[in-house]
Structure 1
Amino acid sequence: MIALIFASMALANQSEPAASAYPLLDPEAQARLESCEVDAARFDALMALDPQSFDQDFSGGWRPVGDKTGCERAAADLLIAYMDHSPHFNPERPGVIGWHAGQMLAMAGQVELAIPYFEAKRSGSPEWTPYVDATLAFMRRDRAAAEAARAELSTLRPSEEEIAARRQFLAENPQITMPDGYVEQPQNLSVVDGLLACWDQPYSMAYGGHCDD
């Protein structure tokens, strides 16, 4: 049952709504959320989402907040709050929610705060680990380590099944734009190339290679 429900539904089901976690947030986090149009009611509704809806819905969950210029830190607040307070978050199966918290912190220029979230998600598939290593190397300005991670990642070509799945994903989600090479290159190789190409830029510009030549 969804943890947070409207009063009318609570009466119908003879169950009490879950207590709001919004008052538990740091006042600065509350202020950031308010400035990005996340009041207590919207916050509670987001905390009530299942992990898939909260993290992987490109038009819902935390992402519309993170897509607003200047709201990256508020998006990180949402992601961290979900891990801390949502009854639907399973720390044994965290997915990439913590990774996205690190990304949003890095997008907001909070590199030191971001690094532990990246480090916590280092283990994974053979192609995931070098991607994390490259990201951490970028944060620490260790270009040799980033290039070594990129070289490792470049050898991990996707299977034909994975290529077909990526093509299907693009066909089913025409509103989503993925970087060049998404279909046939190793996963996240283009992201790592962007970090290397924009080495002296902040993560917010280097992610995806959004910097001047």
Structure 2
Amino acid sequence: MLNALAITLALMAWQAEPGDAYAQLAPDARERLTACDVDAERFDALMQLEHDAFDQDMDGGWRRIAHQDGCEHAAADLLVAYMDHSPHFNPEQPGVIGWHAGQLLAVAGETEQAIPYFEARRVGERDWVLYVDASLAFLRRDRAAAEAARAELAELRPSEEMMAARRQFLADNPNITMPEGFVEQPQNLGVVDRLLACWDMSYADAYSGACLD
């Protein structure tokens, strides 16, 4: 009950002070957001979105901003602000918002800023940790570490339950094309392979596999 009351009071306080969090942003962050059509009113609306609506909606939340040309850093600003200011962000259950902030910073070429966000998400199942290790190795230009993480990741076979869930996903979404090996391979192995194949490119280009086109 106390937790629910605290959340309600926090939300009331947030709603009572529109524009306050926006005003607390660094001037360069506000400049990037303004250039990407995020003013104080839109910023407040984004901060009030529920966690999944902000982070997982493919057509809304931070992704709508990130899909605009040159707005990757602004979208990262939004993700960081959500962790700092949104009443709906629970630091005990952060999800992958911080990971996405790191990815967008890396895409924007801000490698040193991206690394701490990647490091903070080095928790969870072994396949995820190895993916984080390979990503960090790419940012740090440590190919031996990236190859070692890839080799161990490739040895991990998804559970029968996971493979069944992936088959069901494909059956339920016939219009979505997933990479070859989606069902049987460890999650994110394909991303790691792209990072290694496009090693001399930027994170943005390597992540998308630009060298493979």
SS of corresponding position for 1:207: helix
Distance across 2 between alignment mates of 1:169 and 1:156: 21
Residue segments in structure 1 that go unaligned for 5+ positions in a row: 6-14
Sequence identity of aligned pairs in percent?
68
- Residue in 1 that maps onto 2:191: 191
Deviation at 1:2, TM superposition (A): 10
In the alignment, structure 1 residue 169 sits paired with structure 2 residue 169? yes
Q: Is the CA contact (8 Å cut-off) linking 2:14 and 2:87 kept in structure 1? A: no
Compare the two structures and name the one with the higher helix fraction: 2
1:148–1:16 distance in 2 versus 1, CA, 3 Å: closer
What amino acid does structure 2 have at the position aligned with 1:188? N
Distance across 2 between alignment mates of 1:82 and 1:169: 30
How is 1:1-213 mapped onto 2 (pairs within 5 angstroms)? 17-19=15-17, 20=19, 21-172=21-172, 178-211=178-211
SS of corresponding position for 1:181: coil
1:27–1:117 distance in 2 versus 1, CA, 3 Å: same
1:205–1:189 distance in 2 versus 1, CA, 3 Å: same
SS of corresponding position for 2:75: helix
Query: Deviations for 1:122-174, whole angstroms, at most 9, x for unmatched residues?
Result: 01111101000000000011000000000111111112221222233345556
Q: Is the CA contact (8 Å cut-off) linking 2:166 and 2:183 kept in structure 1? A: yes
TM-score where L is the length of structure 1: 0.88
Distance across 1 between alignment mates of 2:131 and 2:14: 44
Query: Deviations for 1:79-107, whole angstroms, at most 9, x for unmatched residues?
Result: 00000100111111111100000000000
Residue segments in structure 2 that go unaligned for 5+ positions in a row: 1-7
Distance across 2 between alignment mates of 1:137 and 1:66: 24
Deviation at 1:176, TM superposition (A): 5.5
Deviation at 1:175, TM superposition (A): 6.6
1:67–1:175 distance in 2 versus 1, CA, 3 Å: farther
Computed over aligned residues only, the root mean square deviation of the Cα atoms, in angstroms, reads 2.2
What amino acid does structure 1 have at the position aligned with 2:147? E
Q: Is the CA contact (8 Å cut-off) linking 2:135 and 2:192 kept in structure 1? A: yes
What amino acid does structure 2 have at the position aligned with 1:193? D
1:128–1:176 distance in 2 versus 1, CA, 3 Å: same
What amino acid does structure 2 have at the position aligned with 1:113? Q
Deviation at 1:30, TM superposition (A): 0.9
Q: Is the CA contact (8 Å cut-off) linking 1:3 and 1:48 kept in structure 2? A: no
SS of corresponding position for 2:15: coil
- Residue in 1 that maps onto 2:5: none
Distance across 2 between alignment mates of 1:172 and 1:18: 43
TM-score where L is the length of structure 2: 0.88
Q: Is the CA contact (8 Å cut-off) linking 1:51 and 1:88 kept in structure 2? A: yes
Q: Is the CA contact (8 Å cut-off) linking 1:127 and 1:156 kept in structure 2? A: yes
Q: Is the CA contact (8 Å cut-off) linking 2:54 and 2:62 kept in structure 1? A: yes
